Structure 1
Amino acid sequence: MNQHIQPPTSTASSRIYDILRKDLVGGRFAAGEKLAINALKEQYQVGLSPLREALNKLAAYGLLIQENQRGFRVPRLSRAELDDIAQMRLALEGMAFEQAIVHGDAAWEAELLAAEHRLKCADMTLDKDDEWERLHTQFHRTLVAPCGSVWLLRFIEQLHDQFDRYRRLGPKMPVIRQELDQQHHELVELAMQRDAQAARTLLDDHIRKSYDVALQCFLEHSG
């Protein structure tokens, strides 16, 4: 009679997947670190079955490397990989933003204004905490949301997570950070004006500036 009730392991697996994904992107584990299954079970208070399911999903997603049937390791930092990720962001995110400007409706404009307002309120401090990161991610998701391609959005989401592994470990660089914060407002203005060409040019510059921050992370951690 309970065959339609979702198994508790599925709920636990989804929960630990979300938590581990956030921690991996946020730099809680060192690049190249081997994850100890028993330590993770204790740390996250989760059973072996849902933990392994989450780890396998994270490996398929690219945030972990599965070395064999039992071992998982955090991917190492690589300048070549960072450059590749940044180039793909420029290509795919720019394309999605242009399409979003073409297809976005009044509801999208309202969501974009709201996302920018929430992020601006969080921009009052240069101490970028987890809440700012959440709002920043939501802002960039909203920018491209109506692009019309589910697969394009999936690829962009994955690229953001990989890119943020580098960026969040970078130095504060307040001058560049202030420029990036100002560009969030300018991106919204150009979107409202439906100026797709200028919007993409600005987004390209925005990604390149963020790359400069991420690159410093790589240089510091590889030196």
Structure 2
Amino acid sequence: MLKIAGEPSETVGDVVFRQIRQDIISGALAPGAKIKLEQAKERYSISVSSLREILSRLTTENLVLAEGQRGFEVSPASRKELEELADLRTVLETHAIELSFSAGNLEWEGRIVAAHHKLAAAEKKLLAGDTSRTIDWVRYDWEFHQAIVSACNSATLMAALSSVFDRFLRYHMLAQSFRGQAVVDDHKLLFELALKRDIEGARAVIRRHIESGVAHVLKSGRID
């Protein structure tokens, strides 16, 4: 998932990898933009050789395209990819919900309560028009969804969901607007259903939540 700062144990390369990844997901590096190595070297304070390695790593996540001798570019955004990511996220997240709700314990409930508390506070600010809290909302949104499925006991599933979630998030950042009360209501309902262990109810909310997210992005007119 998108991280705001590097961990203490990370190398310079790891930190730059996370920064470029964050810049792509946030839209600071626009879809289809050519990544000029000399400019990027200065921007991220890293050697060209290390930069090439980082960009090659990002191609494995489909966030960057390698153009052979022509270098690299940010992966373009398209309606087709958005819909594919939505389908994949739905499959992964609904499956993870089933596993997590079946295995969740008191500690799991505590993680959900704490995550929703932070998310609700950020959403209240956004509803009031304070867009400076958008980066907080991005972080807390993932932390809440992660908490919901955190008892699934599958590191592989969590890693796959995290990657797809970030790529899906990139489209929401391109839309440049908060979905408003509807998304707040979805999160509150999902929170309540999780504590009730209502698997089918939560899966239905997630499906609707993702579908409405796709509709919101398409309505923005910012992708083809």
Q: Mark yes or no: TM-score above 0.5.
A: yes
Q: Deviations over 1:189-212 (max 9, x none)?
A: 111111111111111111111111
How many residues were matched structurally? 210
Q: Which of 183, 197, 200 is the equivalent residue of 1:197?
A: 200
Q: One-letter code of the match for 2:222? A: E
Range with bigger deviation, 206-215 or 32-41: 206-215
Determine whether 1:182 maps to 2:151. Answer: no
Q: Percent identity?
A: 32
Secondary structure of residue in 2 paired with 1:146: coil
Partner of 1:100: 100
Determine whether 1:125 maps to 2:125. Answer: yes
Q: Which of 195, 208, 219 is the equivalent residue of 1:216?
A: 219
Q: Distance in 2 between matches of 1:194 and 1:119?
A: 20
Q: Which of 143, 149, 162 is the equivalent residue of 1:144?
A: 149
Deviation, 1:141, is 1.4
Secondary structure of residue in 2 paired with 1:61: coil
Secondary structure of residue in 1 paired with 2:68: coil
Deviation, 1:18, is 0.8
Q: Which of 146, 169, 177 is the equivalent residue of 2:174?
A: 169
Deviation, 1:131, is 1.8
Q: Show structure 1 runs of 5+ residues with no match.
A: 1-9
Determine whether 1:80 maps to 2:80. Answer: yes
The TM-score with structure 1 as length reference comes to 0.88
Deviation, 1:125, is 2.2
Q: One-letter code of the match for 1:216? A: K
Partner of 2:5: none
Partner of 1:29: 29
Larger Rg, first or second structure (1 or 2): 1
Q: Show structure 2 runs of 5+ residues with no match.
A: 1-9
Deviation, 1:171, is 4.6
Q: One-letter code of the match for 2:38? A: N
Q: Deviations over 1:69-88 (max 9, x none)?
A: 66111111111111111111
Is this contact kept in 1: 2:174–2:222, CA < 8 A? no
RMSD, aligned CA: 1.7
Q: One-letter code of the match for 1:115? A: A
Is this contact kept in 1: 2:78–2:223, CA < 8 A? no
Is this contact kept in 1: 2:79–2:223, CA < 8 A? no
Q: Distance in 1 between matches of 2:109 and 2:159?
A: 21
Q: One-letter code of the match for 1:146? A: A
The TM-score with structure 2 as length reference comes to 0.88
Is this contact kept in 1: 2:26–2:173, CA < 8 A? yes
Q: Distance in 1 between matches of 2:217 and 2:151?
A: 28
**1:49-68 correspondence to structure 2 within 5 Å:** 49-68=49-68
Q: One-letter code of the match for 2:148? A: L
Is this contact kept in 1: 2:86–2:214, CA < 8 A? yes
Partner of 1:6: none
Determine whether 1:206 maps to 2:209. Answer: yes
Partner of 1:159: 164
Partner of 1:3: none
Range with bigger deviation, 125-134 or 89-98: 125-134
